[in-house]
């Protein structure tokens, strides 16, 4: 998993509340292992059923092209627990989400895949929106996970944010659950060795057929 330390990017705003995982990645993109998840991201919000582009949707606005930070509203990622929603975000190019709140399972999927979800109070969210809403030219901000800060285009810190220290450590070091477990390999091997010597019945199959 790619470590997340700092990220400087334009910010794409999609501020509707209660955007669910089916809106993030429609179900038809889940059935094909070769599906273009980036193309499928917000497919029904970006395009009509006939495939015509909705030019007023932020992802189709050329001003936000290349943006890696998505600004969202409340309860983002609600609905099903589909991990494809996070994969679609990453496939499109997003590495950080800033919002008022995230659905619990969606947030967990973000963290397990290296996508940073930042939850802000309404006051702090308003300050970020003021920082990036500069008319026709989307502003660049810097998210620093090491310092837990968000800075403006001039490098001036605007706000601090918080995240669980264990989650922060995993993102900074690019560790998913498997990599985190493998860090304890020596302890695991010691346990297996000790158990095989003293409690062999725990790890060796028992032949119940006489």
* Within-domain flag for 146: yes
**61 domain residue, yes or no:** yes
Is residue 181 one of the residues assigned to a domain? no
| Count of structural domains within the chain | 1
CA dihedral defined by 111, 115, 119, 120, rounded to 10 degrees? 150
Cα distances from 63 to residues 59, 73, 149, in angstroms, run 9, 20, 25
The pTM score is 0.86
Residue ranges making up the domain that contains 112: 6-175
Measure the CA–CA gap between 94 and 152, rounded to whole angstroms: 19
In a domain, 64, yes or no: yes
d(CA 130, CA 122): 12
Is residue 186, in this structure, part of any structural domain at all? no
Which residues share a beta bridge with 71? 13, 98
Residue 17: both structure tokens together = 């509340």
Residuewise pLDDT in 10s, the chain (210 residues) = 899 999 999 999 999 999 999 999 999 999 888 899 999 999 999 999 888 999 999 999 999 999 999 999 999 999 999 999 999 999 999 999 999 999 999 999 999 999 999 999 999 999 999 888 766 788 899 999 999 999 998 889 889 999 999 999 999 999 887 777 777 777 777 777 777 777 776 666 655 555
How far apart CA 47 and CA 194 sit, in angstroms, is 60
Q: Assess if residue 36 is contained within a domain.
A: yes
Are 139 and 131 in contact by the 8 Å Cβ rule? The answer is yes
Contact 107, 77 (CB under 8 A): yes
In a domain, 120, yes or no: yes
One DSSP character per residue, 2-67 reads ---SEEEEEEEEE--S--BHHHHS-GGGGS-TT--HHHHTTHHHHB-TT--B-TTSGGG-GGGTT-
| Sign of torsion over alpha carbons 65, 116, 37, 51 | negative
CATH number where 90 lies: 3.20.19.10
């Amino acid at each position: 998993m790619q470590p997340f330390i700092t990220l400087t990017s334009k910010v794409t705003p999609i501020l509707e509340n209660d955007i669910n995982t089916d809106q993030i990645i429609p179900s038809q993109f889940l059935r094909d292992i070769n599906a273009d998840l980036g193309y499928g991201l917000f497919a029904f919000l970006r395009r009509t059923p006939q495939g015509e582009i909705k030019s007023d949707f932020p992802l189709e606005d050329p001003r936000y092209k290349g943006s890696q930070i998505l600004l969202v509203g409340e309860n983002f990622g609600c609905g099903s627990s589909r991990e494809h929603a996070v994969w679609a975000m990453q496939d499109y190019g997003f590495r950080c989400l800033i919002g008022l709140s995230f659905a619990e399972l969606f947030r967990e999927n973000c963290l397990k895949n290296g996508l940073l979800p930042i939850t802000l109070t309404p006051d702090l969210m308003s300050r970020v929106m003021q920082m990036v809403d500069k008319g026709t030219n989307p502003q660049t901000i810097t998210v620093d996970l090491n310092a837990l800060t968000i800075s403006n285009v001039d490098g001036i810190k605007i706000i601090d944010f918080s995240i669980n220290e264990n989650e922060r450590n995993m993102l900074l070091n690019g560790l998913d659950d498997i990599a985190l477990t493998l860090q304890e390999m020596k302890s695991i091997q010691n346990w297996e060795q000790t158990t095989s010597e003293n409690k062999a019945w725990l790890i060796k199959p028992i032949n119940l057929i006489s």
